[in-house]
Structure 1
Amino acid sequence: MPASHDLKGLMKFLARDEWRGCFEQVFDNHFGPVLEAGDMEFDDLAEILSDDWAMTLWGCAFEDFLTQEFDVDGGNIVDEYLKRRGWKEGAQTKVYMKALRTSVMSLYEVSDIVPGKSLTARDLIRGGEPIAVSEGTATQTLKQWDRIAARIVPVLGKNIFAGGLLPYTPQATDALFDGLRQMFGKKGTKKLPALADQDLQSVASMFTLSWLFDTLDRAMALPPMQNSDGDDLMFHDIRFPLATGVTQKDIAAQVNAIPGMAQENVKFWNWLEDKPKGREKAKHADALSFDATMDNGLRVLGNVELKGRFLHLSTNSAARAEKGTALIRQALGDIVGTPLTEIRTIEQMMAERPPRERGEAASNVPPEIAEQVVHQFMDRQYRETLDQPVGMLGNKTPRQTVKSAAGRQKVAEWLKYLENQSANQPNPADPMATYNFAWMWKELGVHDLRR
């Protein structure tokens, strides 16, 4: 007896000459632009992304194919299959096939996730009331406010997902919405147009392409990573050996005299910039910028630490390493020897990170204490953020933005983004993943939009 959602019969029917040619047209719509741009075959996607993702992508094209009418006998493969072979299928399978026949791919925001059971999906394109979906597999990995491209189909009184489900990043969402605006929107407006089901059915391949271009960009290479001076991240560890007879106390006294050195304890200093200044524009428009900042707004250019018979200078770029080395040699003179330098790229640093999945301890701090400390830090940081300009809000503060109806919607989207990014930690017990953002929604008066 076939499973209730078994489409093997339909897939075998696809081998018939008239349907094989029709499917090749749909397949090319979904993958042709990506394969041509990357000068590759579909099988290459499995090597880059995995066999599972390649099958999911094929499923997206196949489900789109099931909804279309073609200029061949029968017109639609589902109608023709059920007419000729429907007697072989169980009642649930036939209901599922008919539901796929009229299904629509759209973009949904998920919430109220009950792992292994259900979730609520809000259509970000067509609007309307959120939909309750019975779902066992995806709910094990999806997080609050994740966005997914999917087909929701009714089967025997329940809404379920079809097989082609794609998780969307903010970047993929922007690409999809830009494409929909260009296709259906009015010139000169940034508002997403109201789309009917037939509109979305006609551009189902756009969901696959937006996801693929975004995913391949991230899979093929890391984005440029820089510090806030615009220097490429290159981690330098410069070790100055202490001269014979020189003590750590002698070194500490000299380091304290170096401009910009802020002592944390007897053996550790933060090397700070002279005064707060605006971050310089990154050399690469798509670069990620990294730097630590003190409570007073001063950027940390590096760290200096005494370890045994060495003074270590650690910093994240060649320019800072050169400047820091010159400062130390000028201040300490011959009480330290010629330094040794170790340089590592961001890829090497990531490769050296201890794998948590092996059960290795990431910290000696008890988990409940670590969670409390992290949550207190996040409380302080986010409370300050409410009165600071935010790029996603047009460089207005959240408190300013909520004063208009449109601004309230923007703030809700911003809070969902923060909440979603926090929840998407590899370890669900990570303090970042367990942080509760509810107070921010209430503080800004937009709790009614948290749905």
Structure 2
Amino acid sequence: MPTSHDLKGLMKFLAREEWRECFDEVFYDHFGPVLDAGDVDFDEYLKRRGWRENAQAKTYMKALRTSVMSLYEVSEIVPGKSLVARDLIRGGDPVAISEGTATKTLNQWDRIAARIVPLMGKNVFAGGLLPFTPQATDALFDGLRQMFGKKNAKKLPAIKDEELQAAASMFTLSWLFDTLERAAGLPSMQNTDGDELIFHDVRLPLASGVTQKDIAARVSNIPGLSQENAKFWNWLEQKPKHGARKRTGPSFETTMDNGARVLGNIELKGKFLHLSTNSAERAQIGTKLIQQALGDRVRAPLTEIRTVEQMMAERPARDREDPASEIPPEIAAQVVHQFMDRQYRETLDQPVGTLGNETPRQAAKSATGRQKVAEWLKYLENQSSRQPDPADPMATYSFEWMWHELGVVDLRQ
């Protein structure tokens, strides 16, 4: 027996020949530019990227005819029951949505393209949802500004519902271009110099008869090294690197408490001097510094290289091999949260690219900057919540103190 959300009869009727030309036009509006850009025809697209629509309720067919696709930011998610959606294009008060499926996978501050329709006194999503990354959001907003705004406009103009209906294909194209680009190959992780993030462990064997004491005395004189103990040094950046390559993907870096960037670590272990760093370029520079300082006191280096993916794959295996090394979850959470507190407190006084290279505290002093700070905080929360394990210390970290510290808690909606 068909359910109230079964549209098979309607879809069968719309499959008649007289509707074919109309559907071809609509399909090309939504998918044509992407297929053209990739030199892919429709049949090949279906074969490679086949998908099927979710069933839609007959009872809101009329609402679908006047519904408007828009971009929403979700919050107050109750898995399996409901969420609150804020329209990022048309504004207005956030709307409570009854939803039982997507709420099980959505995270706080996710952005989705969707149609909202009333059904039996509640608001529901009509059909499927398109998840939007920050990149897809930027592409969509750029397109809407070009279509409806003034030349070189930086803000979205007021857009009428009927205008937004006519621009429905822009949502599909922004999402699809971004999705296919990421599916074709995500940008590699990089350090802040723009170097690809590949972890190098360079081991330099000590020459015969050379003692650790002799090596330690000479290593301590290498410029840029900060000694932690008798056998361990941090290799610090002495001055910002000029001419670094532009970063094209997510970056990773480590800093000292005073903000100095850590380029690597040097440690004496038995008959080896180890240099650990996160790129081939830094490994080459660090090895050269050590060899110049130590000369024939060390032999030819041996290098072990691991990618980010390899390190992630190795971690569970190591945990299984040494169960006794596992830290109690409550202690691990406390340590991670304390570390994140310290890191983010330092970040509040450091320039942030998405804030126009202002510090969060500086940006929070203007109306426009406050909005940017709120978007930045939502992004941090959203990324932190995306851990596979919801009990992971990263996923359970609370950013609420940052909203209060920056005076933008009123924008946390």
The reply to whether TM is greater than 0.5 is yes
Is the counterpart of residue 318 in structure 1 residue 280 in structure 2?
yes
Question: Which of residues 95, 102, 118 in structure 1 aligns to 2:66?
Answer: 102
- 2:363 matched to which residue of 1? 401
Q: Structure 1 residues 442 and 45, CA, compared in 2 at 3 Å: closer, same or farther? A: farther
- 1:299 matched to which residue of 2? 261
- Greater alpha carbon shift after TM alignment, 195-204 vs 282-291: 282-291
- 1:259 matched to which residue of 2? 223
Is the counterpart of residue 116 in structure 1 residue 80 in structure 2?
yes
- 1:372 matched to which residue of 2? 334
Shift of 1:356: 11
- 1:70 matched to which residue of 2? none
Shift of 1:439: 1.6
The C-alpha deviation readout for 1:60-95, integer Å capped at 9, x for no partner, is: xx99xxxxxxxxxxxxxxxxxxxxxxxxxxxxx431
- 2:114 matched to which residue of 1? 150
Q: Structure 1 residues 45 and 421, CA, compared in 2 at 3 Å: closer, same or farther? A: farther
- 1:30 matched to which residue of 2? 30
- 1:276/1:299 contact within 8 Å kept: no
Q: Structure 1 residues 361 and 169, CA, compared in 2 at 3 Å: closer, same or farther? A: farther
- 2:152 matched to which residue of 1? 188
Q: Structure 1 residues 338 and 386, CA, compared in 2 at 3 Å: closer, same or farther? A: closer
Is the counterpart of residue 411 in structure 1 residue 373 in structure 2?
yes
1:442 is paired with a residue whose SS is: helix
Structure 2 CA distance for aligned equivalents of residues 138 and 362 of structure 1: 39
Structure 2 CA distance for aligned equivalents of residues 379 and 45 of structure 1: 47
Structure 1 CA distance for aligned equivalents of residues 344 and 5 of structure 2: 46
Shift of 1:400: 3.1
- 1:239 matched to which residue of 2? 203
The C-alpha deviation readout for 1:275-294, integer Å capped at 9, x for no partner, is: 242x5454346344433222
Q: Amino acid of the residue matched to residue 109 of structure 1?
A: E
Is the counterpart of residue 129 in structure 1 residue 93 in structure 2?
yes
Shift of 1:392: 2.3
- 1:18 matched to which residue of 2? 18
Q: Structure 1 residues 355 and 134, CA, compared in 2 at 3 Å: closer, same or farther? A: farther
Is the counterpart of residue 443 in structure 1 residue 405 in structure 2?
yes
2:396 is paired with a residue whose SS is: coil
- 1:276/1:298 contact within 8 Å kept: no
Structure 2 CA distance for aligned equivalents of residues 103 and 22 of structure 1: 19
- 1:243/1:334 contact within 8 Å kept: yes
- Greater alpha carbon shift after TM alignment, 381-390 vs 120-129: 381-390
- 1:239/1:340 contact within 8 Å kept: yes
Q: Structure 1 residues 271 and 398, CA, compared in 2 at 3 Å: closer, same or farther? A: closer
Q: Amino acid of the residue matched to residue 22 of structure 2?
A: C
Question: Which of residues 356, 363, 388 in structure 2 aligns to 1:426?
Answer: 388
Shift of 1:41: 4.1
Q: Amino acid of the residue matched to residue 13 of structure 1?
A: F
The C-alpha deviation readout for 1:165-213, integer Å capped at 9, x for no partner, is: 0111111111001100111112232120111211111111111110111
The C-alpha deviation readout for 1:211-234, integer Å capped at 9, x for no partner, is: 111122222113254433343444
- What aligned pairs does 1:326-345 form with structure 2 within 5 A after superposition? 326-345=288-307
1:98 is paired with a residue whose SS is: helix
Q: Which runs of 5+ in 2 are unaligned?
A: none
The C-alpha deviation readout for 1:5-57, integer Å capped at 9, x for no partner, is: 11222222232001122112111111111111112245666787x65xx335x
- 1:79 matched to which residue of 2? none
Structure 2 CA distance for aligned equivalents of residues 173 and 359 of structure 1: 44
Q: Amino acid of the residue matched to residue 354 of structure 2?
A: M
Q: Amino acid of the residue matched to residue 55 of structure 1?
A: R
Q: Amino acid of the residue matched to residue 231 of structure 1?
A: D
Is the counterpart of residue 392 in structure 1 residue 354 in structure 2?
yes
- 1:108/1:123 contact within 8 Å kept: yes
- Greater alpha carbon shift after TM alignment, 292-301 vs 123-132: 292-301
Q: Structure 1 residues 360 and 109, CA, compared in 2 at 3 Å: closer, same or farther? A: farther
Aligned residues: 413
1:290 is paired with a residue whose SS is: coil
Shift of 1:384: 2.8
- 1:226/1:289 contact within 8 Å kept: yes
- Greater alpha carbon shift after TM alignment, 322-331 vs 221-230: 221-230
- 1:122/1:129 contact within 8 Å kept: yes
- Greater alpha carbon shift after TM alignment, 310-319 vs 100-109: 310-319
Q: Structure 1 residues 254 and 404, CA, compared in 2 at 3 Å: closer, same or farther? A: closer
- 2:6 matched to which residue of 1? 6
Structure 2 CA distance for aligned equivalents of residues 115 and 358 of structure 1: 32
Structure 2 CA distance for aligned equivalents of residues 400 and 302 of structure 1: 31
Q: Which runs of 5+ in 1 are unaligned?
A: 64-92
The C-alpha deviation readout for 1:235-264, integer Å capped at 9, x for no partner, is: 332222233454545443443333322233
Structure 2 CA distance for aligned equivalents of residues 104 and 175 of structure 1: 19
- 2:187 matched to which residue of 1? 223
Structure 1 CA distance for aligned equivalents of residues 44 and 257 of structure 2: 48
- 2:190/2:247 contact within 8 Å kept: no
Structure 2 CA distance for aligned equivalents of residues 341 and 308 of structure 1: 17
Cα RMSD of the aligned pairs, angstroms, is 3.0
Give the TM-score normalised by the residue count of structure 2: 0.89
Q: Amino acid of the residue matched to residue 202 of structure 1?
A: A
